[in-house]
Homo-oligomer: A and B are copies of this chain.
Amino acid sequence: MSVIQPFAEVEHQRAVFPDGLLLDCGVHLAPVNVAYRTYGTLNAARSNAVLVCHALTMDQYLAETHPLTGKPGGWELLVGPGLPLDTDRFFVVCANVLGGCMGSTGPRDLREDGTPWATEFPSITIRDMVRAQKLLVEHLGIARLLAVVGGSMGGMQVLEWAATFPEAVFAAAPIACASHHSAQNIAFHEVGRAAIHSDPDYRAGQYAAHGVIPAQGLGVARMVAHITYLSEEALTRKFGRRLRGANAVTFLEDVFEVESYLRHQGSSFVRRFDANSYLTITRAMDYFDLAAEYGGELRNAFAGKDTRFFVCSFSSDWLFPTSESRRLVQAMNAAAARVSFVEIKSDKGHDAFLLDEPEFHQALGGFVAGAARALGV
């Protein structure tokens, strides 16, 4: 039995939608709860709202101390007074994704019969996540978002927002993402899922009823994912081949610093993230294939729509390489969409979109400010 205990439960701010949603898989999920945080003030014209879509293991706590971990918010470098997503000017909204574990409806929630969904939680898609966010945006009285912004899985949501609800998206910034999940990315996810399924504490998904968590499996899943978020350069710079407390090879476990770091990443992650949520959300990413939703032609996802785009990639990101962003830009160009593109030189890998990258922050801030000017905000 695992000795690692999850953090205590906290109440998350949320909106409840009793009528729920019809999901892509055909299931009508009701009610649907959407947990969210807002930063800044919605103006009288309701025209200054910026929706941030979070990545796989992030959540809605963008710019404040996280209530579970006590750590800084996930995008504190970007969201706040005077920052690129300036909360003195903009009303920034972020919702926990459908299927998540920070207050939005997900596998940890109870069904009508009082038992948790666990593995019975319906399969969801990136579009389903966006539909749930649309409910929230309407609930907040916002007909059109000034901008929708997000990196990685957040970028997939941005693309889906622009394709599905173009009239509600004035500007869209998909960052460090792609129009579909690649075979390699699916394969890495599958390793993580296999590790979770292999953990006897997973108990066929009913771990909560047994008072355990599949900490080992989820930890291994986090370890492998974490490697894909870093560049070789970033790993080498952080750790190189430095040995822990030894000048020579001592032939012990955990002899390399990088191993110790990864093990720590794995073990802290399992305390804040639900394994069934991880399975549900990684599947949603793997299913994502925007072109397939538009007859196999990616440009059709953007055709005849007025949203302006800012596509951004990072040079050392090998999980969502620049070539994938270029493919997006080509499809947008083919659809005569308004698009600007920048590849940020960075050796930090995929994680760069979460880190101190001034050029990226300046470019994103400039794009959103330009959209605000165009709308007279």
Contact = CB atoms under 8 A, between A and B. Distances in A.
A263 interface: yes
Interface in A1-44: 24-25
Interface in A136-174: none
Contacts of A125: 249
Given A198-B216, A318-B318, A184 B266 contact: no
Given A186-B241, A249-B287, A258-B183, A194 B123 contact: no
B199 A235 contact: no
Contact of A219 (B123, B194, B200, B283): B194
A248 B302 CA distance: 22
Contacts of A188: 224, 227
Interface string A277-294: 000000100110100000
Contacts of A273: none
A232 interface: yes
A232 B262 contact: no
Contacts of A195: 195, 198, 220
A190 interface: yes
A191 B25 contact: no
A198 B191 CA distance: 14
Interface in A109-127: 122-123, 125
A191 B235 contact: no
A341 interface: no
Contacts of A216: 194, 198
Interface string A214-242: 00110110011001001010011011110
A227 B319 CA distance: 13
B182 A223 contact: no
Contacts of A198: 195, 198-199, 216-217, 219-220
Which residue, A183, A194, A200, has most C-beta atoms of chain B within 10 A?
A183
A64 interface: no
Interface of A: 24-25, 122-123, 125, 180-184, 186-188, 190-191, 194-195, 198-200, 216-217, 219-220, 223-224, 227, 230, 232, 235-236, 238-241, 249, 251, 256, 258-259, 262-263, 266, 283, 286-287, 289, 318
